[in-house]
């Protein structure tokens, strides 16, 4: 690799940086942007935080509705704290852990929970103030790509809308942008069946898609009623507002997720948007990691699945397994004490995960399988043992297994023997570390960073007052799958067959007349 080194006086360096900054602005005037991420989940929020911060640093006025405010002190950056949303969201998290996504959609419980959470959030005083502020205006809205009542802000401010997702978007969002949505070729990202599916798996993904679409459809009338109660009777249908999205940002790197063709209006940020520059570790964590010369295991189940709330049976399995390992373990455990904690385990209520994973002594990451956690492990070249509990975690774990960058285990059927074997396999088999490094190098080989891509396309929408011109055509599913064409061709074939049969009958009748067959029959009858 070529390296260039040169010296430049400080003043000239400052002037050059200033000029480059002006060029990068590309004549985009300062805009007022409303960002709405309503989901009460830190993994959802953290993905976007770097985007909001960078837009503010580039001079745009940012107003961010978030459940996890950063407290960033910038003159043109305001956060509307809706962290109370975590209260009703707890029920959804518990339901997602205990029940399958298929059952939640089939029983309509998922949509009911979504609506209850959205109504709770919109009725918070800080949201009511935003909703009823008649003097407020925005030039652009960035909103999470879900058919929920926050889409009504598109109608209220009558400005362009960019829909955003911290994972790959669901089929409805792809359909809106004109992207192909074949359920088997491009299965929904939260399902564990993603590639080389057998007949049973193809049937399962098809049925799940049908159930999810029906669940959304039957709830749409109720959702529209609730939305109009909050925003006023003149608000169009939520799904119609969602269709007006000018652009869709998704997080689905084709090297790790399913490969899907996109229209120009769909921007694949391709992972790593939330990655931050390295920072020094707190002294206690640094000393612990430094002391693990034989390798350290970092264990965290993310923000939604709390280690302290695991069942007693599962916790005992984890503790017994960890106590038998010849490695030090750093466990993100949300309590001051852990009864039965082995000597080789250190617990911490919180850890700067990206910086922990970057430490050279960390050789394995035991994770729940959230997409941001997987990206952080990839970028740090750390293989994984994945214990998926909910949401897209099982699908992500299946990808980890298929890429051979880690091992997948079922936390609900976990045994000491299986857990220990999986940990030793990943720690001692060099293939996992080699694979994760190779995959990381491939993912990071891009013409621009994911953050730069997000900012450039956001400002593109601002420059052109929208991006409807980049969207592909959208057609109903019966047209997409040629059902109307098949029916039309079938009718034509039946008509042609009927004509053909009629002609044959006429020819046979004429032939009988010519050969005298009819006369002989009459003679016999007489």
514-521: average pLDDT: 63
Class of domain 29-270+447-470: alpha beta
Element (H, E) at 299: strand 296-300
Question: Alpha-carbon distance 145 to 148, whole Å?
Answer: 9
| Ranges assigned E (strand) in 159-241 | 161-164
Residue 3 has pLDDT above 50, yes or no: no
Angle at 421 between CA 419 and CA 423, to 5 degrees: 70
Q: How confident is the model at residue 100 (pLDDT cuts 50, 70, 90)?
A: low
pLDDT score at 98: 66
Q: Decide if 173 contacts 248 (C-beta within 8 A).
A: yes
pLDDT given at position 169:
84
Look at residue 21 and tell me whether its pLDDT is greater than 60: no
Assign 414 a pLDDT band (cuts: 50, 70, 90): very high
- pLDDT value for 194: 66
How many residues does the structure list for the chain? 526
- Looking at residue 395, what is its pLDDT? 87
Q: Which of 3-7, 223-227, 455-459 has the lowest mean pLDDT?
A: 3-7
Measure the CA–CA gap between 197 and 203, rounded to whole angstroms: 9
Task: Give the burial class of 251: count Cβ atoms within 10 A of its Cβ; 0-12 exposed, 13-18 middle, 19 or more buried.
Answer: buried
**pLDDT surpassing 90 at residue 13:** no
Residue 23 confidence (pLDDT) above 50? no
Cα separation values, 259 from 112, 182, 187, 199, 375, Å: 32, 12, 10, 21, 17
Confidence of residue 209 (pLDDT cuts 50, 70, 90): confident
Query: For a pLDDT cut of 90, what percent of the chain falls above it?
Result: 48
Question: pLDDT digits over 112-157, tens only?
Answer: 777 888 888 899 999 999 999 988 999 999 999 888 889 999 999 9
Q: Which two tokens stand for residue 462?
A: 């601002």
Lowest mean pLDDT among 28-37, 318-327, 483-492: 28-37
Model pLDDT for residues 338-364, shown as the tens digit of each residue: 998 999 999 999 899 999 999 999 999
For residue 382, the 8-state DSSP code is -
Q: Which residue has the higher pLDDT, 282 or 256?
A: 282
164-174 burial: b if 16+ Cβ within 10 Å, else e: bbbbbbbbbbb
Residue found under tokens 């009819």: 518
Return d(Cα 459, Cα 173) in angstroms, integer: 21
* Beta carbons of 293 and 361 less than 8 angstroms apart: yes
Distance CA 189, CA 518 (A): 71
Domain segments of the chain: what residues?
A: 29-270+447-470, 283-443, 479-519
Residue 101: is its pLDDT beyond 70? no
Q: What is the pLDDT of residue 477?
A: 76
Does position 524 have pLDDT exceeding 60, yes or no? Answer: no
How confident is the model at residue 106, as a pLDDT? 63
The H-assigned helical ranges of 58-124 are 86-98, 101-106, 109-122
CATH topology of domain 283-443: Rossmann fold (3.40.50)
Res. 5: pLDDT tops 50 = no
* CATH fold match for the domains 29-270+447-470 and 283-443: yes
CA distances from 411 to 190, 318, 367, 397 (A): 17, 10, 11, 12
- Position 272 scores a pLDDT of 81
Q: Which residue has the higher pLDDT, 433 or 306?
A: 433
List alpha helices for 446-482, DSSP H: 450-463, 477-480
C-alpha to C-alpha distance for 175 and 455, rounded to whole angstroms? 24
In which region does residue 39 sit, left (phi positive, over 0), alpha (psi from -120 to 50) or beta (all else)? beta
Convert 76-100 to b/e letters by CB count within 10 Å (16 or more is b).
bbebbebeebeebbeebbebbeeee
Span 376-410, pLDDT tens digits: 999 999 999 999 988 788 888 988 998 999 999 99
DSSP code of residue 471: P
Cα dihedral across residues 234, 238, 239, 244: positive or negative? positive
Q: Please state, rounded to an integer, the average pLDDT across all residues of the chain.
A: 86
The whole-number pLDDT of residue 472 equals 84
247: pLDDT strictly greater than 70: yes
Q: Which residue has the tokens 């953290």?
A: 46
Contact 53, 378 (CB under 8 A): no
pLDDT per residue as tens digits for the range 248-269? 999 887 787 777 888 999 999 8
Averaged pLDDT for residues 63-73: 90
On the question of pLDDT at 25 being above 60, the answer is: no
Average pLDDT over residues 437-465: 92
Residue 306 gets the label, from left (phi > 0), alpha (psi -120 to 50) or beta, of beta
Residue range 182-207, pLDDT digits in tens: 888 888 777 777 677 888 888 888 88
């Amino acid at each position: 690799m070529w390296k260039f080194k040169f010296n430049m006086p400080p003043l000239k360096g400052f002037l050059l940086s200033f000029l480059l900054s002006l060029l990068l602005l590309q004549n985009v005037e300062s805009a007022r942007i409303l960002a709405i991420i309503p989901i009460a989940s830190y993994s959802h929020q953290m993905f976007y935080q770097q985007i909001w911060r960078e837009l503010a640093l580039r001079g745009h006025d940012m107003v961010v509705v978030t459940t996890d405010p950063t407290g960033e002190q910038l003159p043109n950056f305001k956060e509307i704290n809706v962290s109370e949303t975590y209260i009703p969201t707890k029920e959804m998290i518990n339901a997602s852990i205990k029940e399958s996504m298929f059952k939640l959609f089939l029983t309509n419980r998922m949509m009911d929970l979504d609506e209850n959470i959205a109504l709770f959030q919109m009725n918070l005083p800080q949201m009511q103030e935003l909703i009823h502020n008649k003097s407020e205006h925005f030039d652009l809205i960035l909103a999470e790509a879900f058919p929920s009542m926050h889409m009504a802000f598109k109608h209220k401010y009558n400005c362009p809308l960019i829909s955003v997702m911290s994972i790959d978007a669901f089929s409805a969002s792809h359909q809106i942008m004109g992207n192909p949505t074949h359920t088997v070729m491009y299965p929904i990202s939260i399902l564990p069946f993603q590639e080389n599916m057998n007949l049973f798996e193809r049937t399962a993904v098809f049925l799940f898609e049908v159930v999810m679409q029906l669940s959304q459809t039957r709830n749409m009338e109720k959702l529209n009623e609730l939305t109009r109660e909050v925003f006023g009777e003149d608000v169009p249908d939520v799904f119609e507002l969602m269709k007006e999205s000018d652009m869709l940002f998704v997080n689905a790197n084709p090297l790790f997720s399913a490969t899907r063709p996109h229209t120009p209006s769909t921007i694949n940020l391709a992972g790593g948007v939330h990655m931050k520059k390295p920072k020094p570790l707190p002294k206690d964590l640094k000393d612990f990691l430094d002391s693990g010369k034989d390798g350290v295991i970092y264990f965290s189940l993310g923000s939604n699945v709390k280690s302290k709330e695991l069942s007693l049976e599962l916790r005992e399995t984890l503790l017994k397994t960890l106590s038998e390992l010849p490695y030090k373990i750093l466990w993100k455990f949300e309590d001051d004490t852990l009864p039965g904690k082995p000597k080789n385990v250190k617990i911490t209520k919180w850890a700067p995960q990206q910086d922990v994973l970057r430490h050279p002594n960390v050789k394995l990451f035991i994770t729940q399988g959230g997409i941001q956690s997987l990206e952080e492990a990839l970028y740090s070249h750390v293989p994984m043992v994945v214990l998926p509990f909910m949401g897209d975690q099982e699908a992500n774990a299946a990808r980890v297994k298929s890429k051979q960058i880690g091992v997948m285990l079922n936390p609900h059927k976990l045994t000491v023997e299986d857990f220990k074997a999986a940990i030793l396999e990943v720690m001692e088999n060099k293939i996992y570390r080699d694979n994760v490094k190779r995959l990381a190098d491939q993912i990071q080989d891009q013409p621009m960073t994911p953050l730069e891509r997000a900012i450039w396309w956001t400002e593109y929408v601002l420059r052109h007052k929208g991006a409807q011109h980049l969207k592909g055509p959208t057609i109903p599913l019966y047209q997409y799958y040629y059902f109307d064409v098949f029916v039309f061709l079938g009718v034509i074939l039946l008509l042609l067959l009927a004509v053909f049969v009629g002609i044959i009958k006429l020819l046979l009748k004429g032939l009988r007349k010519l050969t005298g067959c009819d006369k002989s029959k009459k003679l016999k009858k007489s």
